[in-house]
């Protein structure tokens, strides 16, 4: 390993991981790709004009007079323009004679299915929009949506967009408290929910949580309830309304008003690391422009022939942008799946790919690593030859997980697009392009055309090739957040104060010798070991590269000698058994051999599970508490609070006997 120059350790991330594999796009895909290399040239020659060209992919009822009004850090895009997001996602395709195209192949967890065409969707959205009007919900009102993954969730979002109400989707796995604080902050007047949904083979209720949350919140005037599971529900006369009672009797005609380009479309809360969740605000014209463009460009979408599947929940921004607004604005056919990947068996995802002939699949590295752990025999049972592009989102994808995905899911043919973005960016920002880029396992590669990203050091200077630092965005982009709901100061402070005039997403990154970008996780997670800033991602990737390791989480724990020391928690692949006593030593040596002795973990603990948020991100903050023998911090956003306690006990038992 090259020694970091004196004094640099505090300022830049060490660049430890060496990865030389690279995969050119398949020739046929490259020849026919929606986006060719000239897109980058066009965008750098005239960025605003490039985005205007992309905005023209949409249907505007009134053209914009100005592309961008930029009063840092507040941006307005396509001002003066008017459009309706629901019309763009639905009516437009029906009007063009494509009403019979399938919008969603919906698959319920118990195996029930629904096929929804664009014509069906148009009727459903219009009826729901009329129902919202009857319930007194109009332009600018906030509507909370707390739903399972069923078509009505999409319909409710689009009905809001149609009438100009602002939707605020809360993930159905969140607690009463999480729902309640979001209702307070957004001042929603309607909650759309269901009796329940199916998860892990059984009905899981939603309505009781809404009842609890709404009890002391008179601002919520109505609760609109979809019947999904048939579970018994308590009924609050005068407040609760069945979806089938009010929506089904509405007219399927609805004249949609065109809204201002900057009219609020939705609020999506991100928890961040501190107390109060941030209500990230997205508006209409710019957001739709960039999600529509990226969905078409990054996945090389051919709407006539592709079957697209984002295996994520609509309760996350990934679902908003790439289950709802991106695919529908492009007239795509998508799969939507209600349940979990191991119900009723561990091949469920691959069975769905085979059944619907999915051509493009998009999922999180945490899912991919879980599939690695289960073993390649599950996907091997199904015909996955329809797949032509694979996507990854939500976390850095370790090179080994990338290789597994490419090999066992993509049959060694498919390009993988490792898409870096955030709730705040609204749409994909840094990614390979499937028809152009020679993809490198673990690298998000380059900003998309029209996005200006950079990697800078502590003082905001661009770092040279071969060095690490902080990723920043230098110019406003169409789908950027317009602010934090009700808190402009927090918006400025969180994103725009670290580096003068630059948007700081909070992630570490490095620029390799070719100028390509590698995202290295949240800077809060970076470890400072003997004066070297080392990214948790690189150490985790080195561990996952060992044939016995499926998943790894790394954290820095305070250490009297080195400042911080590296502590790792690993999950073994199923064929590795319990690993045996020699394995930990072997893994420590393996990391040292891969990244250099500085990155050798002080301790490694083999665990059955890792603490994750409900969106699948590892909670390193809690692992740090464990590693430093501290009382655990806030565990309320964990999927399974018990697992971390078990892990803590195991850690305390293991002592420091690894030496």
Among 128, 159, 387, 444, binds ligand WT7 (CB under 6 A): 444
CA neighbor of 538 nearest in space, from 518, 558, 524:
518
Site membership for ligand WT7, residue 553 (CB under 6 A): no
Site membership for ligand WT7, residue 447 (CB under 6 A): no
Among 52, 195, 454, 507, binds ligand WT7 (CB under 6 A): 507
Q: Which of residues 251-270 bind ligand WT7 (CB under 6 A)?
A: 270
Q: For residue 578, give the DSSP letter.
A: T
Query: CB 159 → ligand WT7: shortest distance, Å?
Result: 24
Query: CB 421 → ligand WT7: shortest distance, Å?
Result: 4
Considering only 121-129, 220-228, 413-421, 539-547, which stretch makes contact with ligand WT7 by CB under 6 A? 413-421
Site membership for ligand WT7, residue 299 (CB under 6 A): no
Site membership for ligand WT7, residue 526 (CB under 6 A): no
Other CB atoms within 10 Å distance of the CB of residue 633: 12
Considering only 310-318, 335-343, 400-408, 547-555, which stretch makes contact with ligand WT7 by CB under 6 A? 310-318
C-alpha to C-alpha distance for 233 and 194, rounded to whole angstroms: 10
Site membership for ligand WT7, residue 401 (CB under 6 A): no
Query: CB 190 → ligand WT7: shortest distance, Å?
Result: 25
Among 279, 379, 396, 450, binds ligand WT7 (CB under 6 A): 396
Q: Is 404 annotated as a binding residue?
A: no
CA neighbor of 269 nearest in space, from 164, 358, 388, 167:
167
- 422 burial level (CB within 10 Å; 0-12, 13-18, 19+): middle
Tokens representing 509?
Answer: 């990154």
Residue 220 or 517 with smaller CB distance to ligand WT7: 517
Site membership for ligand WT7, residue 654 (CB under 6 A): no
Q: Is 485 annotated as a binding residue?
A: no
**Could you tell me how far CA 655 lies from the centroid of its own chain?**
37
Considering only 208-216, 334-342, 501-509, 642-650, which stretch makes contact with ligand WT7 by CB under 6 A? 501-509
Other CB atoms within 10 Å distance of the CB of residue 642: 10
Residue 127 or 318 with smaller CB distance to ligand WT7: 318
Q: Is 114 annotated as a binding residue?
A: no
CA neighbor of 296 nearest in space, from 45, 60, 33, 98:
33
Letters for 418-437 (x = contact with ligand WT7 by CB under 6 A, - = none) are: xxxxxx--------------
Exposure string (b/e) for 92-122, b if CB count within 10 Å is 16 or more?
bbbeeebbebbbbbbbbbeeeeeebbbbbbb
Query: CB 495 → ligand WT7: shortest distance, Å?
Result: 11
CA end-to-end span of the chain: 23
CB 399 within 8 A of CB 545: yes
The sign one gets for the Cα dihedral 194, 200, 203, 208 is negative
Tokens representing 634?
Answer: 């806030």
- 563 burial level (CB within 10 Å; 0-12, 13-18, 19+): middle
Letters for 580-619 (x = contact with ligand WT7 by CB under 6 A, - = none) are: -----------------------------------x----
Peptide bond into 361 cis (omega under 30): no
Site membership for ligand WT7, residue 40 (CB under 6 A): no
Tokens 């991106």 belong to which residue? 326
Site membership for ligand WT7, residue 393 (CB under 6 A): yes
**Which residues are bridge partners to 559 per DSSP?**
563
Instruction: List contacts with ligand WT7 (CB under 6 A).
Output: 270, 316-318, 393-396, 418-423, 444, 505-507, 519, 521-522, 615
Q: Which residues are annotated as a binding site for CoA?
A: 199-202, 318, 530
Annotated binding site: 199-202, 318, 394-396, 418-423, 507, 522, 530, 544, 546, 549
């Amino acid at each position: 390993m090259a020694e970091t120059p004196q004094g640099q350790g505090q300022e830049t991330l060490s660049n430890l991981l060496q990865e030389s594999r690279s995969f050119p796009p398949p020739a046929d895909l490259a020849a026919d790709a929606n986006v060719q290399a000239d897109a980058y040239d066009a965008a750098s020659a005239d960025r605003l004009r490039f985005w205007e060209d992309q905005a023209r992919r949409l249907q505007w009822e009134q053209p914009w007079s100005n592309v961008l009004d930029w009063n840092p850090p507040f941006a307005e895009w396509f001002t003066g323009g008017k459009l309706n997001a629901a019309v763009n996602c639905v009516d437009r395709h029906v009007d063009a004679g494509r009403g019979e195209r399938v919008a969603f192949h919906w698959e319920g967890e118990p195996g029930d299915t629904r096929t929804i065409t664009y014509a069906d969707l148009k009727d459903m959205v219009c009826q729901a929009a009329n129902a919202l009007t009857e319930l007194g919900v109009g332009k600018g009102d906030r509507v909370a949506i707390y739903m399972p993954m069923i078509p009505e969730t999409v319909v409710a979002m689009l009905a809001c967009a149609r009438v100009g109400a602002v939707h605020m989707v809360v993930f159905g796995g969140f607690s009463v408290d999480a729902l309640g604080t979001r209702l307070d902050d957004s001042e929603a007047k309607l909650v759309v929910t269901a009796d329940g949904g199916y998860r892990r083979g059984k009905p899981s209720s939603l309505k009781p949580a809404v009842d609890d949350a709404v009890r002391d919140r008179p601002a919520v005037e109505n609760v609109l309830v979809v019947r999904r599971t048939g579970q018994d529900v308590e009924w609050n006369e005068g407040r609760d309304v069945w979806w089938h009672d009010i929506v089904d009797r509405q007219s399927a005609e609805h004249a949609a008003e065109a809204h201002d380009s900057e009219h609020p479309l939705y609020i999506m809360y991100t928890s961040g690391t501190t107390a109060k969740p941030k209500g990230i605000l997205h508006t209409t014209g710019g957001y739709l422009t960039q999600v529509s463009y990226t969905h078409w460009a990054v996945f090389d979408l051919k709407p006539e022939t592709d079957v697209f599947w984002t295996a994520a929940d609509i309760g996350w921004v990934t679902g908003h942008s790439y289950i709802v607004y991106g695919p529908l604005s492009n007239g795509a056919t998508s799969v939507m799946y209600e349940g979990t990947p191991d119900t009723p068996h561990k091949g469920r995802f691959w069975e769905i790919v085979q059944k619907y002939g999915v051509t493009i699949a998009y999922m999180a590295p945490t899912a991919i690593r879980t599939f690695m752990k289960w073993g390649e025999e599950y996907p091997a049972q199904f015909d996955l030859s329809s797949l032509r592009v694979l996507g990854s989102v939500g976390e850095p994808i370790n090179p080994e997980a990338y290789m597994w995905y490419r090999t066992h899911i993509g049959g060694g043919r498919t390009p993988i697009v490792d898409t870096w973005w955030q709730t705040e960016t609204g749409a994909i920002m840094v990614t390979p392009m499937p028809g152009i880029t020679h993809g490198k396992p673990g690298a998000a590669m380059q900003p998309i055309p029209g996005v200006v990203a950079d990697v800078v050091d502590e003082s905001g200077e661009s770092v040279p090739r071969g060095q690490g630092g902080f990723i920043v965005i230098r110019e406003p982009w169409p789908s950027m957040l317009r602010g934090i709901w009700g808190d402009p100061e927090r918006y400025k402070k969180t994103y725009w104060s670290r580096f003068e005039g630059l948007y700081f997403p909070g992630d570490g990154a490095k620029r390799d010798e070719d100028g390509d970008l590698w995202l290295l996780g949240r800077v809060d997670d970076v470890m400072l070991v003997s004066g070297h800033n080392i990214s948790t991602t690189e150490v985790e990737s080195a561990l996952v590269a060992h044939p016995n390791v499926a998943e790894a989480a790394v954290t820095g724990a305070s250490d009297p000698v080195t400042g911080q020391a590296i502590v790792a928690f690993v999950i073994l692949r199923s064929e590795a058994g319990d690993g045996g006593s020699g394995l930990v030593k072997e893994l420590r040596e393996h990391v040292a051999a891969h990244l250099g002795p500085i990155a050798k973990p002080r301790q490694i603990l083999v665990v059955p599970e890792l603490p994750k948020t409900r969106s699948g991100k590892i909670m390193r903050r809690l692992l740090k508490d464990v590693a430093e023998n501290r009382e655990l911090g806030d565990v309320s956003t964990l999927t399974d609070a018990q697992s971390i306690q078990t892990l803590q006990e195991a850690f305390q038992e293991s002592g420091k006997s690894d030496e």
